[in-house]
Structure 1
Amino acid sequence: MFISSQNSPPSFKDFTLVMPAVAVGNVGQLAVDLVISTLNMSRVGHLHTDCLIPMAGNNPYATCKEDAEELHTPAEVYTAAELKLAVLQIRAPIVQTKSKRFRQLLVSWIKSSGFARTVVLSSSHAYQRDDQQLQGTPLRYLVTPSLLKVSADALKELGWREMERVPAFPGLTDADAEPRLCVPGGGITKGLYADSCAEDIPLAVLLLFCSEGDNIPDAFTLVNHLNDWLHLLGSHSQESSKWKMPSSWSLLFGSGIPPALF
């Protein structure tokens, strides 16, 4: 359920929604952090659900002491009205037994809000790629038939590479076995894409093959890939320097090495 933080609920009609999937390396969430921080987006509400592990914390995008004390929750919505852009940031893992219910909640909210298109930023285990996925760029995309109708030319011009379907039984060729979509480590990515196809929702998935570790460079790669399409910051130039890292990233790997160790 979406709960507005304003007196009158915001209208998302014809907005583009960008959201992450909680996936390997948290690349989608880090990329969304960069979008919110760089565009100085305004928080307009949150999703209230028991499908996410409950948590709360200080403002991850604080710029001064006063706004650092704001309380933030696991699933919040931000907007940049001038760009007709909305962003859903998910900061907590999905309760394992409630993954399907959470996808249903998202699909219902996306449909009722009237978003023109939804873009899911995700990632997948690099070590589980098959031979064809080892070649070329580590970036892939998926698009629902509903969005393909209006974005086919743009995607063709970008020259992006679609996520490959893999054999149902790796190493075996069976004419009767249809290749299947597989996104290992992608969380709800595959399920949300399938749900959106079934519900005729215009949705795209942008994902990156990666490994766990310092995934900040991966986040920059993914958000620049998104920018090629949506032009949030204009054309490419000095790619990483255009994006503003939020203050919360200063503690991404803890508070440093205690001097007492030495």
Structure 2
Amino acid sequence: MFISSQNSKHEAFKDFTLVMPAVAVGNVGQLAVDLLVSTLNMSRVGYFHTDCLIPMAGNNPYATCKEDAEEVHTPAEVYTATELKLAVLQIRAPIIQTKSKRFRQQLVSWIKASGFSRTVVLSSSHAYQRDDKQLQGTPLRYLATPSLLKGSADALKELGWREMERVAAFPGLTDTDSEPRLYIPGGGITKGLYTDSCAVDLPLAVLLLFCSEGDNIPDAFALVARLNDWLHLLDNQSQDLQGKWKMPSSWSLLFGSGIPPALF
């Protein structure tokens, strides 16, 4: 359930594009959304209230001064850039495993009721579980529901992106009766949300990278750059486009604090 901020006059998202992450391997989607919110100076307009996420609270991850840092933030918050007709739902906590299906249902219901023109899910998948075809070329893949393809098929074709391949349920076997399936290991709710969206005719796209756990900041930059190629959020003519993305203050502690001097 979306709860609007008291100081927010933004009540409707009709014709807005929604960008949201899947809690997936390397947290690449969440890091990419951090870059969007920080760079575009997006305003918090509310939060997503649900018991499907592990409860948590923390300081403002996008603080620019001491006063901002004292704000309390929650596991799932909504930000907007009205001039771009862009909204993002940032998810900062893991989904409770037994409530994954209910969380997807809540998301789909909210997206449909809000009137978003399209939804883009930023996600990732285990690089080590790729099959032979997926090892070739770029690590970027996409998925699009039939509803989204009605208005964006040409744009996606011009970008030259590769659609996520379907893989054999039992690789190595020659059983022709086994149909290829959509398999996104490490992708969290990505597959389920895509399947649910297809079933209810929701215009949704998934943009994901194959990656490994570790320093996933470069993966986040790569993913948000590919998103920008499609949505044109920043000037694509710049030779230093990566330099235009602003890292939030919270990233200074992405790998914890420094090494204690007492160790030496």
Q: Normalized against structure 1, the TM-score is what? A: 0.98
* Matched residue count: 262
Give the whole-Å Cα distance in 2 for the aligned partners of 1:93 and 1:171.
34
**Offset of 1:242 from its aligned partner?**
0.9
Q: Cα distance, 1:81 vs. partner? A: 0.3
Give the structure 2 partner of residue 249 of structure 1.
Answer: 251
Q: Paired residue for 1:3? A: 3
Corresponding residue for residue 215 of structure 1: 216
Moved more, 8-17 or 30-39: 8-17
Deviation at 1:173, TM superposition (A): 2.6
SS for the counterpart of 1:124 is strand
> Percent identity at matched positions?
86
Which residue of the partner structure matches residue 181 of structure 2? 180
Equivalent runs, 1:19-98 vs 2, <5 Å? 19-98=20-99
Give the counterpart letter for 1:155 in structure 2. L
Deviation (angstroms), 1:133: 0.4
Distance 1:9 1:217 in 2: 33
Whole-Å Cα distance in 2 between the matches of residues 133 and 14 of structure 1? 34
Q: Please give the residue correspondences for 1:82-231 in structure 2 after superposition, counting only pairs within 5 Å.
A: 82-231=83-232
CA distance in 2 between counterparts of 1:117 and 1:173 reads 39
Cα-to-partner distance string for 1:189-208 (whole Å, 9 max, x where unaligned): 00000000001000000000
Query: Alignment partner of 2:46: what SS?
Result: strand
Q: Please list every run of 5 or more consecutive structure 2 residues that lacks an aligned counterpart in the other structure.
A: none
Aligned to 1:258: 260
Deviations 1:97-154 (A, max 9, x none): 0000000000000000000000000000000000000010000000000001110100
Secondary structure, aligned partner of 1:98: helix
3-state DSSP of counterpart to 1:62: coil
8 Å Cα contact 1:167/1:173 also seen in 2: no
Following the alignment from structure 2 to structure 1, what is the Cα–Cα distance between the partners of residues 163 and 244?
Answer: 27
SS at match of 1:149: helix
Provide the rounded CA distance (Å) in 2 between the counterparts of 1:250 and 1:195: 37
- Residue segments in structure 1 that go unaligned for 5+ positions in a row: none
RMSD after superposition: 0.9
For 1:203, give the aligned amino acid.
Answer: L
Counterparts of 2:175 and 2:157, CA distance in 1: 31
Question: Residues of 2 paired with 1:77 and 1:174: CA distance?
Answer: 47
Q: Secondary structure at the match of 2:3?
A: strand
CA distance in 2, matches of 1:113, 1:234: 29
Partners of 2:152 and 2:174 lie apart in 1 by 33
Q: Could you tell me the TM-score, scaled by structure 2's length?
A: 0.98
The alpha carbon displacement at 1:6 in A equals 3.4
Partner SS for 1:208: strand
Quote the offset at 1:9 in angstroms: 5.0
Q: What is the rounded CA distance, in whole Å, between the counterparts of 1:111 and 1:150 in structure 2?
A: 17
2: distance between equivalents of 1:174 and 1:142? 26
Distance across 2 between alignment mates of 1:202 and 1:96? 26
| Structure 1 CA distance for aligned equivalents of residues 245 and 34 of structure 2 | 10
Q: Which amino acid aligns with 1:3?
A: I
Q: Distance in 2 between matches of 1:18 and 1:179?
A: 29
1:233, CA displacement in angstroms? 0.4
DSSP 3-state at the match of 1:60: coil
Letter in 2 for 1:59: N
